[in-house]
Amino acid sequence: MKSNCQFCGNKIVGRHHLAKLCLQCIQNEFGKNQQKAIALVKNAVKKGVLQPAKNFKCTDCKSIASCYDHRDYDKPLDVVPVCRKCNYKRGPIKSKFINSNL
């Protein structure tokens, strides 16, 4: 089942069925910032600056964390460990880009 982009509301086409952003939103500046922030966290884990998320409990539900959640992509290493379920529940970040393009 296809879903709608969490930022613009358009149908998500040509992406993984769990994708939250359409291709157009990924390609805009917000998407670039998101991808850069994710890459910086991955590199920090690889270099040992951050421990893998699975070494922590989810900040919200206390189960084993599986990823890091960003609330602001302009602060790429300001993250909290969460499980996938809680990360999905948290929804998209709040940003000027999102508010100006809805």
Give the pLDDT confidence of 71-84 residue by residue, as tens digits: 988 899 999 999 99
Q: CA dihedral in degrees (16, 99, 78, 92; nearest 10)?
A: -30
The top-scoring range by mean pLDDT among 9-18, 21-30, 77-86, 88-97 is 77-86
For position 18, what pLDDT does the model report?
81
**pLDDT value at 51 more than 90:** yes
For CA atoms 17, 36, 81, 64, give the dihedral sign. positive
The stretch 44-57 carries a mean pLDDT of 97
Domain ranges for the chain = 23-100
**pLDDT value at 100 more than 90:** no
**pLDDT value at 102 more than 50:** no
| Mean pLDDT over the full length of the chain | 85
In the chain, what percentage of residues exceed pLDDT 90?
A: 44
Cα distance between residue 18 and residue 3, in whole Å: 8
